[in-house]
Every structure is written in structure tokens, then in C-alpha cells.
Structure 1
Amino acid sequence: MSIGKVGAVVLDCPEPVALARFYAELVGGTVEDDGEGWVNLKGAEGAELAFQAAPGFVPPSWPSAEKSQQFHVDVMVEDLDAAEAEVLALGARVLDAEDRKRSFRVYADPAGHPFCLCAC
């Protein structure tokens, strides 16, 4: 028995619509903007993502004890190399992808949130 269930994973960011579009390209779904600083990503497989405007947002650092990542999103992909090229073209940046033999690679989305591409 549980008290509740996960409704959405919410990311604070300076530009909710732009970040929602990034994740829509990454995992699918439709961007729904309420016009007041809250944006949902609907229809993507897995946990729902939402984005809220955060004035003065400071992105986390990875890895860093002082400005910890706080959370990250794992995105399962068939081909790490192909997925990497696509997320970089969308505006992601590499945080840790040097070990090409690992089953995951770490990136930052355009707002600076860490996420991993993980081999299925």
C-alpha cells in the first residue's frame, strides 16, 4: 500500500517552453503551456515531465558536492552514439561521455539539468 503515486517529475528552469521542447524531441510527447510559467509534456512514455519557470535559476553542477545535481533523468536508447549526436544537435552538452564502453553517458540539457543516455 502507498500514500500516493508519482504525478510528474518537475524541472525548474528559466524557459519552460524551450526546455519542454528539448525533452519532447528527446522522449516524445506534446508540449502544453498554461501561459503562466508551467508547461507539461503530455503523451510521452514513462513518467510525466513538467517544467516551471524559476526566476534566478542556477543550474546544478555535475559532479559537485556544493551544487549537487539533486535529480537526473535516465533516457533509455537503442544506440548511444546515434542518440548522442541527436541530443547534442538539440542543444545538450556533454558532462561525462569519455568512457565509450560504459552503458551510459551523462549530459546537461539546455538549462543545465544532468540527464543520462542509457543503453537498453
Structure 2
Amino acid sequence: MLAQMKLTAITLDCPDPLALAAFYQQATGLELHEKSTSDFAGLTRGDEYFIGFQRVDDYHAPHWPDQTMPQQVHLDFAVDDLDEAEDLLLELGAVKPKYQPGGDRWRVFTDPAGHPFCLTRG
């Protein structure tokens, strides 16, 4: 039997770690990690999880849903009110692509660095 693994972090490549951390901090209410820098920033909520953002020189954003530059990874967030969350995210700099395969079940957005993420009803 294999040892159980506990997910402790998810890290996204980006051109500006502090800017992307600020976007997700405002969207989620997570706390900026005290050791965040311009090369690597992180958001935390106690021991629950860590979302990292690492600087990549010559970063190329995914082009969702086009697979020329595939998404490679995306995050899903549950919310109580899709419309309210959408308004907030758009104000913070997210983009809502025209292609929305989720119907009324979920909505796809891209963060300021181009990473796709989804909102679902919580």
C-alpha cells in the first residue's frame, strides 16, 4: 500500500508573482505569505493550503480554449452566487472568454496572467 499524499501547494508560472498574488488575494481573501518576493509569492490559509506564483522569464500565457498554448492546469473555486463573483472578478482584472462550456453549472475566466480558472456553484 502506498503512503497517502497530502497536497500542500499549487504553484502557477507568471510574469509578475506579486501582481498575480494580489489578484487572487482580493478574489479569495487568502493571506499573502510573509516571505513573498518579486520572484516568488504565495497565499496561504493556515495549514490548509498554499497557492504559489513564480516568476518565469519570457512567460507565455495559455490560450484557452485553443490548444496552441494549452492551459496545462486550472483552478476551480466554489461560490454562493456566480453573478456576484463574476462582477468582482471582472473588476479585479479577470477576463471571461466567449466560449463557456459549463452552461449554468460553471463559468470559465482567465486571471491577469492568462491562466484559466472556473467558478462553480458552492
Range into which the TM-score falls when normalised by the shorter chain: 0.7 to 0.9
Could you list the runs of 5+ residues in structure 1 that have no partner in the other structure? none
**Counterpart secondary structure, 1:93:** coil
Q: What's the CA shift for 1:40?
A: 1.1
Range 30-39 or range 70-79, more displaced: 30-39
Paired AA for residue 114 in structure 1:
P
* Corresponding residue for residue 70 of structure 1: 72
Alignment partners' CA distance in 2, 1:45 and 1:117: 23
Number of equivalent positions? 120
Q: Is the 8 A contact 2:63 2:71 kept in 1?
A: yes
Task: Give the direction of change, closer, same or farther, for the CA distance of 1:114–1:103 in structure 2 (3 Å limit).
Answer: same
Of all paired residues, the percent bearing the same amino acid is 37
TM-score, normalised with respect to structure 2: 0.86
* Corresponding residue for residue 12 of structure 2: 11
Q: What RMSD, in angstroms, separates the aligned Cα atoms of the two structures?
A: 2.3
* Corresponding residue for residue 50 of structure 2: 48
Alignment partners' CA distance in 2, 1:102 and 1:21: 28
Q: Is the 8 A contact 1:76 1:118 kept in 2?
A: yes
For each residue in 1:32-71, what CA deviation from the matched residue of structure 2 results, as whole angstroms up to 9, or x when unmatched? 2443511110117964200000111000011122211101
